Amino acid sequence: MLPAIDVLNGAVVRLRQGREDDVTVYGDDPPARLRTWADEGAALVHVVDLSGAIEGTWNRSLWEALGATGIRFQAGGGIRSLDAAVETIAAGAVRIVLGSAVVWDPALLASIVETVGSDPVVAAVDVRDGMAVGAGWTDGGRPIDQVLDQLAAAGVVRALVTGIAGDGMLTGPALDLLGHCVDRLPGVGIIASGGVGTLDDLRMLRSLPLDGVIVGRALYEGAFTLREGIGALAGPEI
């Protein structure tokens, strides 16, 4: 299980369905939060620079500050060029999460995979009503299968799939969507994101061969602890 850290203007926050007007602040020290998750048992932490994702800017200082902790994290937000991808890894990220601006640019995506290798690359696929939507989640999107096939062709080995309707809402994971992605891309590890609100949600996800599960608001609001969540995912398959 990957606990999430979303950073907006230097603060640790969570958004509901990606909306900037529905923000809850949980602190102002991202490196300290990274250390807390590591102390509680996280082997890898998912970090998103929301400011970078929204504005398209790359935040060197954030990634260097997190990299200085020596804790393993994957970084997303504002990584929209080959240079930004290379430098984020150099700053200390073990993986980079590439959003729609890159995922929808096959040439750039392939170039990044070729340069840094396939293992550090995670392609983010944000889905609403069967369509993979673009930056900001405001466009009509493209058919999900078209995007998934494109990722496989580019050599991507991990995809982070978010069901937008459940993101930050604690209403349960998008099991049908995740199952479809697993079936469509048997050679790609699927990381689930969005909707997890209870330990039972995590137990349901054990039925899918996932590469990981990202949890945010449920942890911050005390629905369960990180150790409890890790334990729920580690139980026997249901």
Q: What residue ranges define each of the domains in the chain, with the CATH number in brackets?
A: 2-234 (3.20.20.70)
Across the range 10-32, mean pLDDT stands at 83
pLDDT digits (tens, 9 = 90+) for 144-171: 999 999 999 999 999 999 988 755 557 7
Active site residue 149: no
Identify the weakest region by mean pLDDT among 15-19, 84-88, 226-230: 15-19
Across the range 73-87, mean pLDDT stands at 96
**What pLDDT does residue 43 have?**
97
The one catalytic residue in 6, 49, 167, 201 is 6
The answer to whether the CB of 161 falls within 8 A of the CB of 125 is yes
Across the range 95-101, mean pLDDT stands at 91
Query: What 3-state DSSP class applies to 27?
Result: strand
Active site residue 126: yes
The one catalytic residue in 49, 126, 167, 201 is 126
Quick one: tokens of 50? 């929301």
Closest CA to 167 of 2, 18, 21: 18
